[in-house]
Amino acid sequence: MRYPIERILYNMHVGNTRVKNIRGFLEDLGFSVHTFPPRAPGVDVQVYKQNQLVLVIEVTNWRISCYTSTEKLNSMNTAFRKFECKKLLMASFEDNYNTVKSKIDSDVYILALGYQTQPFFTWQDKNGDTTGMRPNDKKTKKSTKLKLQNKLKSMGLI
């Protein structure tokens, strides 16, 4: 078996892992947060402060070898343009960031974490490759939370 569970479920679970973590981090910081399921049209996270929408986030949890299509980037831009607040794209890796940077609207902040948050970390693909994967454990969550907090500070949101 190439994936530990059916591929579509695997992709949804991996994608939702980071979204759930981000929701918790933002709620800990006092924000109200609305999240949407993976593959739903639009942004993944809407962030409110005192009932005012202050930030929308598109979250990727890609592997190091994954790149996005122009169609997906256009879809992200379209989703972001619907909002009059700060916008953030959270990418997994610098390579993902460099691919996206020139194609995403200039008013969108980008945060490249440097890893994929992997809920199935003990599983390896058919080649045994876990490059860039980190388990969804306390250390990974702490790293993500710190990087997100620093980005929110630089954006003037905290």
Q: What is the 3-state secondary structure (H, E, C) of the chain?
A: CCCCCCHHHHHHHHHHHHHHHHHHHHHHCCCEEEECCCCCCCCCEEEEECCEEEEEEEECCCCCCCCCCHHHHHHHHHHHHCCCCEEEEEECCHHHHHHHHCCCCCCEEEEECCCEEECCCCCCCCCCCCCCEEECCHHHHHHHHHHHHHHHHHCCCC
Q: What is the pLDDT of residue 102?
A: 67
Q: What is the pLDDT of residue 75?
A: 83
Is residue 130 one of the residues assigned to a domain?
Answer: yes
Is residue 2 one of the residues assigned to a domain?
Answer: no
Domain count, the chain: 1
Is residue 25 one of the residues assigned to a domain?
Answer: yes
Is residue 137 one of the residues assigned to a domain?
Answer: yes
CATH code of 17's domain? 3.40.1350
pLDDT, tens only, 11-53: 676 778 889 999 999 999 999 999 998 777 789 999 999 999 9
Is residue 129 one of the residues assigned to a domain?
Answer: yes
In this prediction, residues 123-128 reach a mean pLDDT of: 55
pLDDT at 154 over 60: yes
pLDDT, tens only, 57-107: 998 866 665 656 667 778 888 999 999 999 999 888 766 556 666 677 789
More confident residue, 86 or 6: 86
Is residue 1 one of the residues assigned to a domain?
Answer: no
Is residue 55 one of the residues assigned to a domain?
Answer: yes
Give the structural domain span for 88.
7-154
Is residue 60 one of the residues assigned to a domain?
Answer: yes
Q: What is the pLDDT of residue 17?
A: 85
pTM of structure: 0.84
Q: What is the pLDDT of residue 158?
A: 93
